[in-house]
Structure 1
């Protein structure tokens, strides 16, 4: 089968995305992100990225995917739900829900490669690159531009009737498509995320100071956690979901149906004592393919000891 019109290309890509299990798919014209450029520059100049120095690299590429993919025409943004059906034991130290299952990079990159293969097989010679949170691409900005949601006051992408518990990925391709329109902001006067953050990391609506975020301290920070933060983490040992858990739009979250993102049963049953006594052997067994590998056993132990 060969299809030959822009609207049919777009329709085909969106139907394939749905077949592969993506929550939604939106498309934007590839180009320079004019609105985001000054915001990113100010955020970096104020050192809101903390020790995440990689955020300062490839500034131009981060704002313009045509510098990443030769002759890029379209940015296809995709969302993959990760909201779990079962949660951790209430007595346990907490980890972010996105880390319950297998490493999402591997899960999503496989789907993106299959999507690109389907595009090439059905449409013809199309070149492109897949991106999953591992290259200088502003995922949330492109998803918002593609109409998949709006950037909320907690700086996460929010979607009506869906919430925000999803991964964002992109396929940048050299194919003209029908482009979607950005949606409107539906945060209104709500300040639930700002009020709930125990470290006051959301310093103003839509602005998160990475230096104060629990996720930053428990994942990105490689040295000791500052003592002044003790008592403010509310038992979060890896990442933090507080600003998402309190968001009214997340009352619409529904469990995902991706088996690879299902948690190891041992994770769900672990209590506080199990976490306190966790060995490197248990860590490797329970979190074999998990995003927790990024913190390593030593990082997780540091976080747990800090919470005691």
Structure 2
């Protein structure tokens, strides 16, 4: 076994110990196939008011411009599929937002992994990324053999599905690189057929500016009235395209206590949500990603769902 293989095995073993679902590694280089797709996406304004997506175009496509001297992108998946879901008579939250904000949890695990690499392997420089920098997470995870990008544009993995967070360590260390896996969507169009706002305009293309997640989280102004009655009770995010995906029948509950919801969250009814006060909002979503939309944003979303 050569040095690169030894280092790679050490990193993957530690990632597993830290609770990551899986770990894949690819060579840090320009994402040639992604460049025209990203350009087309931006040119067609599919990012809506998410102006930040226009920034750092070169860095999004080339990690060596993001992290000087980088040689490897270590991609990691962390399961967030919950044991229990919300009350049937409730306005819905995307499952990823049930517990503590994932940015903190995943970032902490990445820091431990990077520290492990520096302690066990030596003078390695790198940076941790959790959905908060110009990194094309799904492209790198697919390149690293962790799954394929489905027709709903989410990463899919056989025997696991898609309810997981994707994160990266970009490091200046050469490692053994994984190979790309095959696409297993076949002729299935369940995600396309189920999207109530028709945000999946064609297989593998999602118009972000029509997505329920965009409207309920990213959009800061009023939701366009043309989408009234199409949200199917989603007040923060949306899981429809994932819920209908056949691969998610393999999803298994996570074992991360910090992802467990506040006890009151699962029992709240539509009536409770209509009557929610700012104090209750702060209590239930104290460390949650839902804080991003603020109390006023969540109230706007709930009011939009009224008949």
- Does structure 2 conserve the Cα–Cα contact (< 8 Å) formed by 1:133 and 1:169? yes
- Does structure 2 conserve the Cα–Cα contact (< 8 Å) formed by 1:27 and 1:77? yes
SS at match of 1:153: coil
**1:107 matched residue in structure 2:** 105
**2:48 matched residue in structure 1:** 50
**Inter-partner Cα distance in structure 2 for 1:265 and 1:17:** 30
Q: Which runs of 5+ in 1 are unaligned?
A: none
**Inter-partner Cα distance in structure 1 for 2:229 and 2:272:** 21
Deviation at 1:68, TM superposition (A): 1.1
- The equivalences for 1:218-297 within 5 A come to 218-297=216-295
**1:152 matched residue in structure 2:** 150
SS at match of 2:117: helix
SS at match of 1:154: coil
Select the residue among 165, 188, 191 that pairs with 2:163.
Answer: 165
Select the residue among 190, 200, 203 that pairs with 2:201.
Answer: 203
**1:75 matched residue in structure 2:** 73
Q: How big is the alpha-carbon RMSD for the aligned residues of Structure 1 and Structure 2?
A: 0.9
SS at match of 1:38: helix
SS at match of 2:252: coil
Deviation at 1:211, TM superposition (A): 1.3
- Does structure 2 conserve the Cα–Cα contact (< 8 Å) formed by 1:4 and 1:123? no
Is 1:64 the counterpart of 2:62? The answer is yes
Q: Deviations over 1:117-142 (max 9, x none)?
A: 00011001100000000000000000
**2:127 matched residue in structure 1:** 129
Deviation at 1:245, TM superposition (A): 0.1
- The equivalences for 1:289-308 within 5 A come to 289-308=287-306
Is 1:22 the counterpart of 2:14? The answer is no
Q: Which runs of 5+ in 2 are unaligned?
A: none
- Does structure 2 conserve the Cα–Cα contact (< 8 Å) formed by 1:112 and 1:130? yes
Deviation at 1:184, TM superposition (A): 0.7
Q: Deviations over 1:62-82 (max 9, x none)?
A: 001111111000000000000
Select the residue among 122, 141, 144 that pairs with 1:143.
Answer: 141
**Inter-partner Cα distance in structure 2 for 1:53 and 1:182:** 31
SS at match of 1:295: helix
**1:41 matched residue in structure 2:** 39
**Inter-partner Cα distance in structure 1 for 2:38 and 2:57:** 9
**Inter-partner Cα distance in structure 1 for 2:151 and 2:30:** 24
**Inter-partner Cα distance in structure 2 for 1:141 and 1:13:** 21
**Inter-partner Cα distance in structure 2 for 1:226 and 1:293:** 22
**Inter-partner Cα distance in structure 2 for 1:299 and 1:10:** 44
Q: Deviations over 1:165-190 (max 9, x none)?
A: 00000000000000001101100000
**Inter-partner Cα distance in structure 1 for 2:28 and 2:124:** 15
Deviation at 1:4, TM superposition (A): 7.8
**Inter-partner Cα distance in structure 2 for 1:245 and 1:148:** 20
